[in-house]
Amino acid sequence: MSIACVVGTDLGSTTTKSVILDESGEVLGRGITNSRSDYDRAAKVARSEAFITARFNLLKREVEQAAGPEVLQHLLDAFRLEQTLAQLDRLHQLVSGTLAFGVPGELAGPAAEAVDTIIARIRQEELDRFKETNPSKRSDFFRDTVGSAWSTISEEIGDPKGVSFDMLLGLYDKCIIQVENEPLALGFGDHIESALVRIGGSTEVKTGVHHAVEAEFDVREEVGTGYGRQRLPFPKEMIRSEILCHGLGASVMFGGTRTVLDIGGQDTKAIQVDENGIVTSFQMNDRCAAGCGRYLGYIADEMNLGLHELGPLAQKSTRTVKINSTCTVFAGAELRERLSLGEKREDILAGLHRAIMLRAMSLLARSGGVDNEFTFTGGVANNPAAVSALRELVTENYGDKVLNISPDSIYTGALGGAIFAHRSAN
Amino acid sequence: MSDQKTKIQEAHKDESMVIQKEMIAEHYKRLERAPETKEPVVYTFVPGNLTELIRSFGCLPVLPEINALQSGMRGKSRGYIAEAEKRGHSEDVCTYVKCDIGMAMAGNIGPTGTKIPKPDLLLLSYTGCYTFMKWFELLREEYDCPCVFLHVPYQGDGEIEPEHREYMIKQIKDEVIPALEKISGRKYDEDALKERLRLSVKAEDDLVWVLQSAMNKPSPIDAYFGAVYYVGPIFSAFRGTEEGVNYYKALRREVQGRLDAGLGPVAPKGPMAEEKYRLVVEGPPNWTHFREFWQMFADENAVVVASTYSKVGGTYDFGFRHNPDDPLGTMGDYCAGCYTNHNLPGRIDMLCQYLQDYEADGFLINSVKSCNSFSAGQLMILREVEKRTGLPGGFIESDLVDPRYFSAANIKNRLESYLQMVEARRVGASQKGMSA
């Protein structure tokens, strides 16, 4: 079976996303990875991840009715577990190989033991998580999940006089980049069989999996967009500005869209579109990435929190602290100053979220204001505190507007790219 | 990236560019010899410069902002700015000023490597830039030399009133001429001045012809990146000189040749094969990455057909010519007519006019961090011009000579997005036309 499709890839500064559309223009697959300062690799991984979800979608179309959605979700979880374990094995290998020259000779033995302990514990945590019915939300990226566990366990078992926390963390830092950048076999065909064995799927599911593995994709057209788009091996006419892609993507997600705000890793864009999704005006931040996604990442690091924890904590605020700077560097200083003055973390965070949105409001005003309907896209749209600060400011300045946010908003640029590809192919 | 850089460095040079380079080099050499030849040196600024008058006294003009931009183009501004900042000039101060001050601190070696002499006079013609005043205050302190101030009234109502004119003539008579007489030891010679103004008109006619050649399709010139070279001699030391007249004759010949052959402009990497976008640009260019910036346009086949920056030293294309029969009055008219002395409605009218006359697809604003005289009000200009013409406007941010404020990726992103937007709107409009 050969399936005609098109691909849009959005190489962002922080994450890289791919979206696959089938012949009818329906979304067949989505893939995301961290951009890891290697755009070529990131584009390959995001694309390959999108094809994994595309194959899962084919499987879903074929067997969901017979097998039930829970079984397919379970299979997907098992597949993700297999991917994680494969990467964990590779990380183990690399760290063990580094020990010879990465730590003083007398500590090589104890360090190897500590590493084995860490890996074994992470492996067990992953297996336990797989058994949980409703595991807590966490990052999609191996670097983040394993990195966080590695750090916690190292802190616990690290010995300041022997194999220290810093030493263990250093080993991880040295090797994780290689794990991310190697072409590891993490595709659908590589792990679906073992995932199937793990859940013990029915005959229908097995047949469906077989079909999904065998499916061939005929990619008719590809469009690249995003900050690193020049790195994509496409002809010039197949490379589109992310501003056009975000405008079009948002307008396809929500047909009534006239104004789009996209806050990504290091860009904030305010875009006005017409009824066909064609951009009529836009403004974006200058070279300084103040108030963008990175700012939140930095604040999360400063507060020793996960990025996804910031919004919910800020929402607990009862009194928003006024924050002056959206400069990533100054914000750290201002944050510490506020903490030293005894302000509550949640109140400071609420202030930080408002500061980001004030900056976005200025770009929106420059681009021509906020028109109905207003669609908010990019990674920051997943942050509930950012959304409520935005909603408040839009109402204050422009009155009641419909505010659209899709759970898949991070894929907006890639979707726009895929639609351009689809139009070009047809 | 390094490949691109190499290619840009192996740049094509037009004949006129070669002539201009020699003229500039010769002028700097003459300046270096000035302490021996006893030719008095007058520092003055581009907008509202009184070159004919200065030259009629046998004095040599030095234009500090030209030195700064030349230093920027030659990769020297970063060091000069650092030098000025070390001495307490804040990061927020105009980078032309810091570049010039830094150059003076570092021995006053000009962009071509020759020593720039100290000024015998600072002639400040005030045409809308407050920073110029502060700049010369600093230089006056540094060099302990006389400073004469010609106050040019701002065109707040968009007109040069008769009393404004009288006010300027009086200042030229009572302040500027006596100061020049004093440093040169010569009496004011009105015939010599008239002769120089006659030469100015010749060069001005040819320059306007060259700039307006961009009304052709394809345009044989780039009226922003190319035009900053074209306006170089007339805005600086060479208005009212034979060299200036000859340069513009040669330039006109060269452009006529390209026009006859149906050729487009010559960009840093070579002649442009296609004219896909015709743009109008407002605001000064970035000098530290000038060729890279230009090439970004050329790579997209975007040609600038008119720009306001090429009018900072005179808006000749709206009809002004120096009038040799009214030498002092014409100098007043010239000063008041410089682009920086226009009010915001005047600037908006000018952009709208260009968009219409040059049949442009849209306009771009390059907003520079350093220059409030230019940048203040640009977003308002953007919205208003869009509203009046229905044509799309784009907004880019950089700086004059501080390389720290040039982000190639950000600018390229905005430029490409803007041009793709123009293209998408063009396609959208033609589809609408077809369905109607």
ipTM of the complex: 0.77
Cβ within 8 Å, pair A278-B425: yes
- Which of A244, A286, A368 lies at the smallest CB-CB distance from B397? A286
pLDDT band, residue B2 (cuts 50/70/90) = very low
Which chain A residue lies closest to B378 (C-alpha atoms)? A366
Q: Across all residues in chain A, what is the average pLDDT?
A: 89
- Which of B409, B410, B420 lies at the smallest CB-CB distance from A244? B420
Cβ within 8 Å, pair B413-A279: no
Which whole-number Å values give the CA distances from A260 to A136, A256, A284, B103, in the listed order?
31, 11, 12, 46
Interface A–B counts its CB contacts (< 8 A) at 53
Please confirm whether the linkage preceding B10 is cis (ω < 30° from 0).
Answer: no
d(CA A203, CA B181): 105
Instruction: Find, among A392, A377, A379, A385, the residue nearest to A309 by Cα.
Output: A385
**Mean pLDDT across A56-76:** 89
Model pLDDT for residues A317-351, shown as the tens digit of each residue: 988 888 776 676 677 788 888 888 888 989 998 98
Per-residue DSSP letter, B272? -
Model pLDDT for residues B55-101, shown as the tens digit of each residue: 999 999 999 999 999 999 999 999 999 999 988 888 888 999 999 99
Instruction: Find, among B173, B177, B123, the residue nearest to B146 by Cα.
Output: B123
Tell me, letter by letter, the H, E, C secondary structure of chain A. CEEEEEEEEEECCCEEEEEEEECCCCEEEEEEEECCCCHHHHHHHHHHHHHHHHHHHHHHHHHHHHHCHHHHHHHHHHHHHHHHHHHHHHHHHHHHHHHHHHCCHHHHHHHHHHHHHHHHHHHHHHHHHHHCCCCCCCCCCHHHHHHHHHHHHHHHHCCCCCCCHHHHHHHHHHHHHHHHHCCCCCCHHHHHHHHHHHHCCCHHHHHHHHHHHHCEEEEEEEEEECCCHHHCCCCHHHECCHHHHHHHHHHHHCCCCCEEEEECCCCEEEEEECCCCCEEEEEECCCCCCCCHHHHHHHHHHCCCCHHHHHHHHCCCCCCCCCCCCCHHHHHHHHHHHHHCCCCHHHHHHHHHHHHHHHHHHHHHHHCCCCCCEEEECHHHHCHHHHHHHHHHHHHHHCCCCEECCCCHHHHHHHHHHHHHHHHHC
Which chain A residue lies closest to B383 (C-alpha atoms)? A368
Domain count, chain A: 3
Please confirm whether the linkage preceding A312 is cis (ω < 30° from 0).
Answer: no
A70 with A120, same domain: the answer is no
Cβ within 8 Å, pair A244-B421: yes
A214 with A302, same domain: the answer is no
Predicted confidence (pLDDT) at residue B225 exceeds the cutoff of 90: yes
Give pLDDT, residue A79. 95
The chain A residues in contact with chain B (CB within 8 A) are 227, 240-244, 267, 274, 276, 278-284, 286-287, 366, 368
**Mean pLDDT across B244-268:** 95
Instruction: Find, among A60, A74, A82, the residue nearest to A188 by Cα.
Output: A82
Test mutation, B365, B381, B410, chain A, max A CBs within 10 A: B410
The nearest CA of chain B is from the CA of A21 a distance in Å of: 22
Cβ within 8 Å, pair A366-B379: yes
d(CA B418, CA B309): 20
Between B9 and B114, the higher pLDDT residue: B114
Give pLDDT, residue B5. 44
Predicted confidence (pLDDT) at residue A233 exceeds the cutoff of 90: no
Cβ within 8 Å, pair A280-B421: yes
**Mean pLDDT across B349-357:** 98
A122 with A159, same domain: the answer is yes
- Contact with chain A for residue B426, Cβ under 8 A: no
Report the percentage of chain A scoring pLDDT > 70: 97
Instruction: For A282-320, give one letter per residue: b (16+ CB within 10 A) or e.
Output: bbbbbebbbbbbbbbbbbbeebeeebeebbebbbebeeb
**Mean pLDDT across B335-341:** 92
A265 with A339, same domain: the answer is yes
A170 with A199, same domain: the answer is no
Which whole-number Å values give the CA distances from A157 to A89, A150, A305, A355, B369, in the listed order?
21, 11, 21, 40, 52
Residue A399, sorted as left (phi over 0), alpha (psi -120 to 50) or beta, turns out to be: left
Test mutation, B405, B416, B423, B425, chain A, max A CBs within 10 A: B416
Cβ within 8 Å, pair A284-B392: no
Q: Is residue A169 part of a domain?
A: yes
Q: Is residue A339 part of a domain?
A: yes
* Residues of chain A positioned with their CB less than 8 A from the CB of B424: 244, 278-279
A308 with A232, same domain: the answer is no
* Residues of chain A positioned with their CB less than 8 A from the CB of B383: 368
d(CA B219, CA B301): 12
Angle at A112 between CA A111 and CA A117, to 5 degrees: 95
**Mean pLDDT across A273-289:** 86
Q: Is the pTM of this model over 0.90?
A: no
Q: What are phi and psi of B397, to 5 degrees?
A: -125, 135
A138 with A278, same domain: the answer is no
Which whole-number Å values give the CA distances from A300 to A388, B26, B60, in the listed order?
19, 60, 61
A294 with A322, same domain: the answer is yes
A149 with A199, same domain: the answer is no
Q: Report the DSSP beta bridge partners of residue B62.
A: B43
d(CA B111, CA B67): 6
The nearest CA of chain A is from the CA of B220 a distance in Å of: 26
Q: Is residue A410 part of a domain?
A: no
The nearest CA of chain B is from the CA of A251 a distance in Å of: 15
- Contact with chain A for residue B414, Cβ under 8 A: yes
Test mutation, B370, B391, B413, B431, chain A, max A CBs within 10 A: B413
Q: Is residue A224 part of a domain?
A: yes
* Residues of chain B positioned with their CB less than 8 A from the CB of A287: 397, 405-407, 410
A261 with A296, same domain: the answer is yes
Longest dimension (CA), chain B: 76
Give pLDDT, residue A167. 92
Model pLDDT for residues B208-223, shown as the tens digit of each residue: 999 999 999 999 999 9
A283 with A376, same domain: the answer is yes
Query: Residues 364..403 of B with a Cβ closer than 8 Å to A: which?
Result: 379, 383, 386, 392-393, 395, 397
Model pLDDT for residues B127-151, shown as the tens digit of each residue: 888 889 999 999 999 899 999 999 9
Cβ within 8 Å, pair B392-A281: yes
Q: Is residue A418 part of a domain?
A: no
* Residues of chain A positioned with their CB less than 8 A from the CB of B418: 282
The nearest CA of chain B is from the CA of A414 a distance in Å of: 16
Q: What are phi and psi of A372, to 5 degrees?
A: -85, 135
Which residue, chain included where needed, has tokens 């010609």?
B150
Predicted confidence (pLDDT) at residue A8 exceeds the cutoff of 80: yes
- For residue A355, give the CATH number of its domain: 3.30.420.40
Domain range spanning residue A378? 255-405
d(CA A392, CA A320): 13
Q: Is residue A352 part of a domain?
A: yes
d(CA B221, CA B304): 8
Give pLDDT, residue A296. 84
Cβ within 8 Å, pair A242-B413: yes
Cβ within 8 Å, pair B410-A287: yes
Which whole-number Å values give the CA distances from A330 to A291, A310, A324, B91, in the listed order?
11, 18, 9, 16
* Residues of chain B positioned with their CB less than 8 A from the CB of A245: none
| The token pair that represents B47 in the structure block | 């907008």
Q: Where are the beta strands (DSSP E) in B98-223?
A: 121-126, 147-151
Cβ within 8 Å, pair A282-B421: yes
Mention every residue, 6+ apart, whose C-beta is less than 8 A from residue A267. A13, A227, A242, A284, A285, A289, A292, B413
Cβ within 8 Å, pair B392-A227: no
**Mean pLDDT across A88-102:** 90
Q: Is residue A149 part of a domain?
A: yes
Handedness of CA A65, A70, A75, A77 (dihedral sign): positive
d(CA B213, CA A423): 39
Number of alpha carbons in the 13 Å side-chain half-sphere of residue B200: 32
A398 with A265, same domain: the answer is yes
Q: Is residue A281 part of a domain?
A: yes
Angle at B271 between CA B268 and CA B273, to 5 degrees: 125
d(CA A154, CA B95): 50
Which chain A residue lies closest to B427 (C-alpha atoms)? A278
- Which of B395, B414, B421 lies at the smallest CB-CB distance from A279? B421
d(CA A58, CA A69): 13
Test mutation, A13, A268, A273, A282, chain B, max B CBs within 10 A: A282
- Which of A240, A276, A366 lies at the smallest CB-CB distance from B420? A240
The nearest CA of chain B is from the CA of A326 a distance in Å of: 18
Predicted confidence (pLDDT) at residue A15 exceeds the cutoff of 60: yes
